[in-house]
Chain A
Amino acid sequence: MAALAESGPSLIGASGDTLREAFGRAIARLGTEDPRIVVLDADVAGGTGTHHFRAGLPDRFYQFGIAEQNMMSAAGGLAAVGLVPFVTTFAVFCLRALEQARLSIAYAGRNVKIVASHPGLDVGPDGGSAQALEDLAAFRALPGMTVISPADPIEMARATEAVAAFEGPVYMRTGRSPARRLFADDHVFVIGKGQILREGTDVTLIACGVEVARALDAAELLAGGGISARVVNMPTIKPIDAALVADCAERTGAIVTAEDHSVHGGLGGAVSECLAQSRPVPVEFVGVRDCFGRSGEPEELAEAYGLTAPHIAAAARRAIARKGETR
């Protein structure tokens, strides 16, 4: 019993090669460089990765308890006196304080960074109540709010640096589950810019977050069938890289968007809005179809809800088949 008490239960915390761990380490380092940075937590520091910041800079870590509405508005007050608050909690609880983000942060024009861990089906076994599939759409609708969803731990770290240096309100997703490494240490992240990870001519797969790795796999599957797919990493959902989206439409004539989010209003919505105004081409959406998630391992859920590479490849074939139908 004594040994058990000393070691405690085996917690499934922010360990391994996750985006939340990458964020946690990045913000802890950035905090030592910029004394304006403070971190706000709602009793989930072990899950969001901010325990690293708390360990290194305890005087700049503010525990708000399980009270996200007060935390979100108070972040506006901290920013009003010149600090740079990073508000951190799970993505669903950011949705809980959406109206506080609207009035106290976005409307007031405050330099607050909202960093949301545990987005999408990537949350896994905690189930449907915990899997935010609406956050990109909701925060994208707030005027002046920049919305970011990085794809791997390296990009997460670079994005955190960019967000800390950026002046203005930001909503940024991290991720719960271990993520595949896609980028080298010298990866460059610029807010508002997407990047072509693989060239192709028949269709473009535009993805964010965990779906970027799956889109690369889908391009391989498609290549095996003689289809040449461009793959674009689009970590900034807002402002969307409209020039790159238009270029994809121009050069490949068909587009698939892929995101661990509802098909309504997130990356797919942002890309479609661009295309409607620039160059309408067939678009197919890979995402969760107007329903909630449920418990399961992330890969099982991705398969069950149609987010895996074969689903993206199938969507690409549908998009290609529709070429020429729009006039």
Chain B
Amino acid sequence: MSSPGPLLQATAPDARKLSFRGEHLRRLSVLARYALEIRRLALVGIYHAGSGHPGGSLSCADILAALYGAELAIVPGEESDPHRDRFVLSKGHAAPALYAAWAACGYIEKEAVRSLRKLASPYQGHPHVKDTPLAETSTGSLGQGFSVAIGMALGLRHLKSPARVYTLLGDGELQEGQVWEGAMFAAHRGLGNLLAIIDYNKMQSDDLNANILGLEPLAEKWRAFGWNVQEIDGHDLSAILEAFQRASQATGQPSVIIAHTRKGRGVAFMEGKPAWHGSVKLKDAEIQTALAGLGLGESEIGSYLNGSIG
């Protein structure tokens, strides 16, 4: 990656890649299917692993579907293109959803999610860039992915690359002081090629954010730090795409999208319950119920859990 050689050449945006971005502007129904598939595959991974964080994986599934399904200029098979967009999952514990998004959007085989957290698998409990280069960096210690993304945005601007950098943070993550160091820096440097998205599901490991260490007034905080702020429903795919579009126009300052979401979204018995934040073991009955609720019939559930996934 950083072997000696000429610097990244300052080139005009690659026309083919931009057309790829256009081709990928899929209809919302396609993105909705991706989001549904992300939820199923994330839970399949957690079930097979016997541990993993379902609540915060389900809350960001729509955001990830919109990113990988429509927004990010990353061509499958050309993931090492220096001018590709970067996405960093700063809330690394949502790794099951990240791998599921790669699977749903064609970057990896769907069956691969079943090796989540297994010894010989590249799909660790939290993303590791040396195992999965598409992770762009290693995360799992909150706050750091955000700063790494800031470094990437600064570096890409330094190299005059047209690529943009996206990063997804959890709400509990915002309690890390490092996040606010980074927020101050990105605004001071006017990093218009940076977009942060906050998966604001209002809950963290032990309880509601509001009971642990309150974040409000959150939008005012980001505005005060000099960011271009939008607040949306993080499960409304149309709203997510429109927010991406508006953020791309704020060239002189970094953008943040505060995406209001629901923890455990899509699985009735998990929704809104902090107990499903943490690393949990999904029982047979629970995964059956969850996948049925996500639109799978009995034979399909069997395929998702142990067979070939279409």
Interface residues of A (CB under 8 A from B): 35-36, 38, 60, 62, 64-65, 67, 69-70, 72-85, 99-100, 103-104, 107-111, 167
Contacts and interface: CB of A to CB of B under 8 A. Distances in A.
Interface stretch (B106-114, B181-189, B246-254, B273-281): B181-189
A100 B8 contact: no
Given A36-B2, A65-B184, A70-B185, A83 B144 contact: no
A54 to B, nearest CB: 15
Given A69-B177, A73-B148, A77-B151, A104 B158 contact: no
Given A67-B181, A76-B148, A80-B1, A103 B155 contact: no
Given A70-B178, A77-B153, 20 more contacts: A69-B147, A74-B182, A76-B137, A77-B148, A77-B149, A78-B154, A78-B155, A80-B1, A81-B159, A82-B7, A83-B155, A83-B159, A99-B141, A100-B147, A103-B138, A103-B140, A104-B137, A107-B138, A109-B129, A167-B2
A211 to B, nearest CB: 34
Given A82-B1, A100-B147, A35 B7 contact: yes
A84 B151 CA distance: 12
B144 A38 contact: no
Interface residues of B, number: 41
Nearest to A79: B2
Contacts of B149: 77
10 contacts: A65-B184, A73-B145, A77-B147, A80-B129, A82-B155, A100-B147, A103-B141, A103-B144, A167-B2, A167-B4
Contacts of A75: 151
Given A77-B148, A104-B144, A82 B137 contact: no
B297 interface: no
B161 to A, nearest CB: 8
A111 B5 CA distance: 14
Interface of B: 1-4, 7-8, 82, 86, 128-130, 136-141, 143-156, 158-159, 161, 177-178, 181-182, 184-185, 188
B128 A80 contact: no
Contact of A73 (B8, B151, B184): B151
Contacts of A104: 137-138, 144, 147-148
Contacts of B185: 64-65, 67, 70, 74
A76 B153 CA distance: 12
A95 to B, nearest CB: 15
Nearest to A81: B155
Given A64-B185, A69-B181, A73-B178, A80 B140 contact: no
